[in-house]
Amino acid sequence: MSEIKRVVTLTASVLSGLFLLAMLLGLAVVLTTAMVLQYSFGEIPCPLCLLQRFAIFGCCFGLIKQLHSDSESGTGISLIFSILLLVISARQTLLDIVPRPGHEYVGGAIFGIHMPVWSIFIALALLIGLAVRLTLFGGLRSAAAVESHLIRRSAQGLAIYVVFICSVNFLSVIVQCGIDQCHRSEYRLFVG
Amino acid sequence: MMAAIYATLLIAFILDLLGHQRFAVPCLFISLALCILLFLWEIYSPIYGFRMPWLQVEVAPLSAPFAG
C-alpha cells in the first residue's frame, strides 16, 4: 500500500513539475516577445507596460521558487503577482480605451489585440493555471518537483534565462528612464 | 523609481539563485511595494484624481414594471 502511495506521490510530483515548467516557459516566451518588439520594432514600453513586465517577472520568481520547494509559498507569490498584473493591465486598458489628446497612439497590436489586453489574457491564464495545478496536485505533493533529474536541469536552465532577461530589462530601464520618470518616446540616455 | 523596482527584483532573483531564499523573498516584496507606489503615482491625475471621466455610461430607460 505504501509502495502505491509512493508511486502516486512521485507521479504527481513529476506532473506538477512539468505543469510549472510549462507555465514558466510560457512566461519566458512572453517576456522575450516583449523584448523583441521593443528592440527590433522600436516599441518603447510605457511606465505601466514596464510594471506589467515586472509583475510577469514576479510570477516567474514564484514559479521558480515552487519548482524547488515542497511548500506552496511559490504558488502564493505567483498568485499575488498575477493579481497585480490583472489590476495594472485592466487599468491601462481602461485608460487607453477612448482616444484622448496625448493618448492617440497606444502601441502596436498582435493579432489585432493590443498589449494591455494581451496582459489581461495572460493574467487570467496564470490564475486559471495556478488554480488547476492546486486542484490537481495541491494535496498530493510531498516532495519538491526537482527530484526528477530532467525537471531539475530544465528548471535550472529556465531560471538562469529568466534572470538573464531580467538583467537585460534592468539595463534597458536605466537607459530609458535613468533614475527618474520614464520617457515613452525616447531613450533618455541616448538623447543628445 | 522604475530603476529601483527592477534593481530590487534583480537582487531578489540573484539571491534566490544563490540559495539565499531568506533574503530573496523580502527583497521581492520590497520591489512589490515600490511597484504599487509607482502604479498609484502613475495613474493619479491632478485634475481627475483616480477617476476616468472619459468612461461614460447612460442610464437605461426603466421598463414599465419598474417605472414610477
For residue A52, give Cα distances in angstroms to A25, A56, A149: 17, 6, 33
**Record: contact A162-B13, CB cut-off 8 A:** yes
**Record: contact B21-A173, CB cut-off 8 A:** no
In which domain, by residue range, is B30 found? 2-43
In a domain, B10, yes or no: yes
A residues 121-180 closer than 8 Å to B (CB): 159-160, 162-163, 166-167, 169-170, 173-174, 177-179
Q: In total, how many domains does chain B have?
A: 1
Q: What is the pTM of this model?
A: 0.88
In a domain, B32, yes or no: yes
In a domain, A102, yes or no: no
- In this predicted model, what pLDDT tens digit does every residue of B4-27 receive, in sequence order? 999 999 999 999 999 898 899 999
State whether residue B7 sits within 8 Å of chain A by CB.
yes
**Record: contact A77-B28, CB cut-off 8 A:** yes
How far apart, in whole angstroms, are the C-alpha atoms of residue B45 and residue B31? Answer: 23
**Record: contact B31-A54, CB cut-off 8 A:** yes
Q: For residue B17, give the nearest of A48, A87, A163 by CB distance.
A: A163
In a domain, A16, yes or no: yes
The more confidently predicted of residues A167 and B53 is A167
Q: Give the H/E segment covering residue A114.
A: strand A113-114
Tell which residue, A62, A124, A63, A127, has the closest CA to residue A93. Answer: A124
Per-residue confidence (pLDDT) for residue B59, from 0 to 100: 73
| Residues A172, A106 contacting (CB under 8 angstroms) | no
In a domain, B16, yes or no: yes
Name the one residue in this structure whose C-alpha cell is 486542484: A135
Provide the terminal-to-terminal Cα distance of chain B, rounded to the nearest Å.
Answer: 55
pLDDT (tens digit, 0 to 9) for every residue of chain A, 192 residues total? 688 877 777 788 888 889 999 999 999 999 999 999 999 988 889 899 999 999 999 999 999 999 888 788 899 999 999 999 999 999 999 888 877 777 766 777 888 888 999 999 999 999 999 999 999 887 665 555 556 778 888 889 999 999 999 999 999 999 988 877 776 666 666 665
In which domain, by residue range, is A135 found? 2-97+107-190
Per-residue confidence (pLDDT) for residue B51, from 0 to 100: 87
User: Residue B45, SS3?
Assistant: strand
Q: In total, how many domains does chain A have?
A: 1
In this prediction, residue B54 has a pLDDT band, given cuts at 50, 70 and 90, of confident
The more confidently predicted of residues A9 and B34 is B34
The C-alpha of B28 sits at a distance from chain A's nearest C-alpha, in angstroms, of 8
Tell which residue, A118, A8, A107, has the closest CA to residue A53. Answer: A118
**Record: contact B6-A94, CB cut-off 8 A:** no
In a domain, A41, yes or no: yes
In a domain, B25, yes or no: yes
Residue B40: closest C-alpha in chain A: A88
| Residue B68 pLDDT > 60 | no
In a domain, B66, yes or no: no
In a domain, A75, yes or no: yes
